[in-house]
Amino acid sequence: MDAIRTEALTKHYRVGFWRPRPYVALDALTLEVRQGEVFGFLGPNGAGKTTTLKLLMQLIYPTSGRAEILGRPVGDVAVRRRIGYLPENPYFYDYLTAEELLDYFASLFGYAAAERRRRVASLLDEVGIGAERRLQLRKFSKGMLQRVGIAQAILNDPEVVFFDEPMSGLDPLGRREVRQLILRLRDRGGTVFFSSHVLSDAETLCSRVAILAEGRLVASGHLSNLLAFQVRGWELVVTGLTEAALERATTLGHIARATPLGAQHYALELPITVAPDGVLSELTACGARLVSLTPVRETLEDYFVRQVADAPRERGLGTGT
């Protein structure tokens, strides 16, 4: 059974007051997220990430298509007992304290008072909220609210956690703590589905990613599959390389860039069109010695930019899907 499954999930809005026209917020998203994986849901602003999360939480209803969490329809209250959700830029009740808010949410799961106290105290410790837990939430900074938001999302030891921009508003220390938390959730067997702009986080944490652009899924799969074979050049490090030999190779177009590392010691960037063994033979014939030769692979950021740049821009209906 998949943790999350969507089939042609679609959401249209009507925009404009006098002459309303359809706007495709999400277009036929089909996705499967397996249990126990950390899944990155990536895309630029307005790509449809939050729309997808809201559909999965049934905060909005789909125009067509269907979605399931843990094999049950998303509206099922029984499913909500087994999931957690952190909305983007969460906001809570001004006049409740962090402790009271979590106690209130815990009560909705039916936990007894003693169990609620235990959970709330341990969660606030886990997300790094100390004495401030007894302050009213209107006095909290954005980062502190984010921590409370994370705490409420994992209050019920969820099997699937949905994080919408979990690193938003956090300082570097906070981001590190959230990364560790996500890994802990995964190690406990949980599934984490998170949307993020921070590609380095996705690269560090995710086993699989999906990239959304203009409401459409443009790529998805294992990071290793998406990036492994996308070699975009070679880095050749040599020593004993004379300036004359370097100039000749550059003139021939064999070297895209040369970065000096020391006396006659260079890191050379070779374009993908050049065979590295040929250049190496040429340079060694002039007295250079090989230190290392490594392929330069595409980063998730390169891949992301390429996919998003290729995505169609029009989001009205009837413009092709």
The CB-of-259 to another protein minimum distance in angstroms stands at 49
Shortest CA distance to 234 belongs to which of 169, 279, 289, 178? 279
Query: Cα–Cα distance between 193 and 242 in angstroms, integer?
Result: 53
Return the exposure string of 128-159: e unless at least 16 CB atoms fall within 10 Å of the residue's CB, then b: ebeebbeeebeebeeebbbbbbbbbbbbbebb
**Binder among 2, 126, 135, 136 for another protein (CB under 8 A):** 136
Reading the block at residue 203, the tokens are 């690269």
Is residue 190 at the binding interface for another protein, with CB under 8 A as the rule?
no
**Binder among 20, 21, 61, 176 for another protein (CB under 8 A):** 61
Shortest CA distance to 34 belongs to which of 171, 193, 199, 151? 193
Query: Cα–Cα distance between 186 and 15 in angstroms, integer?
Result: 40
Q: Which is nearer to another protein, 118 or 138 (CB)?
A: 138
Q: Which residue's entry shows tokens 């380095």? A: 200
**Binder among 108, 112, 231, 261 for another protein (CB under 8 A):** 108
Q: Which is nearer to another protein, 84 or 276 (CB)?
A: 84
Q: Which is nearer to another protein, 105 or 194 (CB)?
A: 105
Is residue 133 at the binding interface for another protein, with CB under 8 A as the rule?
no
Shortest CA distance to 123 belongs to which of 143, 104, 90, 98? 98
Task: Give the helix ranges, DSSP H, for the chain.
Answer: 49-56, 77-80, 98-108, 113-126, 142-153, 172-187, 199-205, 223-228, 243-251, 276-285, 300-310
**Binder among 107, 141, 200, 294 for another protein (CB under 8 A):** 107
Q: Which is nearer to another protein, 90 or 174 (CB)?
A: 90
The CB-of-126 to another protein minimum distance in angstroms stands at 17
User: What is the chain's length?
Assistant: 321
* Residue 65-104 contact track with another protein, rule CB under 8 A, x = bound: ------------xx-xx-xxxxx-xxxxxxxx---x---x
Q: Which is nearer to another protein, 90 or 169 (CB)?
A: 90
The CB-of-83 to another protein minimum distance in angstroms stands at 7
Asked if 148 and 114 touch (Cβ cutoff 8 Å), the reply is no
SS3 47: coil
Q: Which is nearer to another protein, 81 or 257 (CB)?
A: 81
Is residue 135 at the binding interface for another protein, with CB under 8 A as the rule?
no
Is residue 57 at the binding interface for another protein, with CB under 8 A as the rule?
yes
Contact region with another protein (CB under 8 A), list: 28-36, 149-157, 288-296, 308-316: 149-157
Give the total of residues touching another protein (CB under 8 A): 36
Residues near another protein (CB under 8 A) are 13, 54, 57-61, 77-78, 80-81, 83-87, 89-96, 100, 104-105, 107-110, 136, 149, 152-153, 162
